[in-house]
Amino acid sequence: MLVVYATALGLVLSAVNVYLRDVQYLVDIGVMIFFWLSPIVYAWHFVQDTLADTTLSSGVSDALLQLYLANPVTLAVIGFQETFWVAGDALPALPDLAARLGVALAVGVVLLWVAQRSFTRLQANFAQEL
């Protein structure tokens, strides 16, 4: 799933970078933001516990948690943690992770197709722009 999203994002950003050179600097900022929005250095249930402890209503808290879990990188990291991290066995598991990963993969394949079509369309003018 990560390969599909990375390829789609790479195709789009490389095509846009030919026309807008400053995109390369935004990629660095975006990678840093995605690093902290994904549970790479922390467990995902910390976000769930923090949202439950806030003064927000339960509907808003649940909506924010679902938005957090809609990030495909977050789902992939949780999948890796549950698969390979033995120390995480005592942590709460994300319900219906396989279904969420399947939906994210299907959306990623569609985005990859759109990115490939966009790259092919913009590719004709690359030589003039460079």
| Phi, psi at 91, each rounded to 5° | -80, 155
Give the helix ranges, DSSP H, for 20-96.
Answer: 23-37, 44-53, 58-69, 72-84
Query: Does pLDDT of 71 surpass 70?
Result: yes
- The better pLDDT of the pair 100, 24 is held by 100
Mean pLDDT of 41-61: 84
pLDDT at 88: 62
